[in-house]
Amino acid sequence: MRIVAATHNPGKVPEIRALLGGHYEVVTAGSLDIPEPDETETTFVGNALLKARHSADLSGEVALADDSGLSVAALDGAPGIYSARWAGPDKDFAFAMRKVEERLEEIGSDDRRAWFTSALAVAWPNGPAVVVEGRVDGLLTFPPRGDRGFGYDPIFIPEGHSQTFGELDPAVKDSLSHRARAFEKLKAALID
Ligand code: ITT
């Protein structure tokens, strides 16, 4: 079966392919010339639904979207749904990770607790949609470590590990990440 990955983030695509398994042919919204919609909702779930519906309606095919982000406890959950926007128009995540560190320094907090959230939505063209959310907790570390993964991976150490997502084998990330946990829920929701 073919499924449209409603994302323009190249970092997400290999994870979506790995987590979906070999049963699906994954084509990206970018490869179908589907433009990025404005993420106008105020929650991960809302933005995931918006992106999945947009790609499903424009492609006429089943679409899967991920809306995700890093939340920092001491920053009241920021950057959260604004995680991509903190990197600016150049998508500079070295800058975004420094910004997280600077904000923590500004408030003088040594609380390093953080979590990633992924909302996954599947939408059928002009039809229904299903949405679920997964989360992984961990601790932040500075400076960034490792060059695997994408986004904020080099500053995030998942619970139970001593290496960042930027250092861990991608298979380890895919076994416990926010996205992996959301996929487990998605599979359960689609089977029920
Ligand atoms: P699409 O909307 O096209 O999918 P995007 O990058 O704009 O791409 P989001 O709006 O969901 O996607 O933003 C999520 C941001 O949160 C993403 O750019 C990363 O910086 C960060 N993020 C999400 N999941 C992550 C992960 O597994 N590892 C590191 N950073 C992650």
Q: Which residue has the tokens 């604004």?
A: 82
* All domains in the chain, ordered by first residue: 2-191 (3.90.950.10)
Residue-wise pLDDT for 85-132, tens only, equals 999 999 999 999 999 999 999 999 999 999 999 999 999 999 999 999
Which residues neighbour 129 within 8 Å (Cβ) at sequence distance 6 or greater? 49, 52, 53, 56, 121, 122, 123
- The verdict on whether 174 is a catalytic residue reads no
In tens, the pLDDT along 2-16 reads 999 999 999 999 999
User: What value does the mean pLDDT take over residues 121-144?
Assistant: 97
Measured on CA atoms in the order 106, 163, 181, 97, is the torsion positive or negative? positive
The reply to whether ipTM tops 0.95 is yes
Model pTM above 0.90: yes
Answer yes or no: is the C-beta of 167 below 6 A from any ligand 1 atom: no
The token duo for 167 is 């250092």
> Of all atoms in ligand 1, which is nearest to the CA of residue 165?
28
Per the prediction, the chain carries an average pLDDT of 97
Please indicate whether residue 124, judged by its CB atom, sits closer than 6 Å to ligand 1. Answer: no
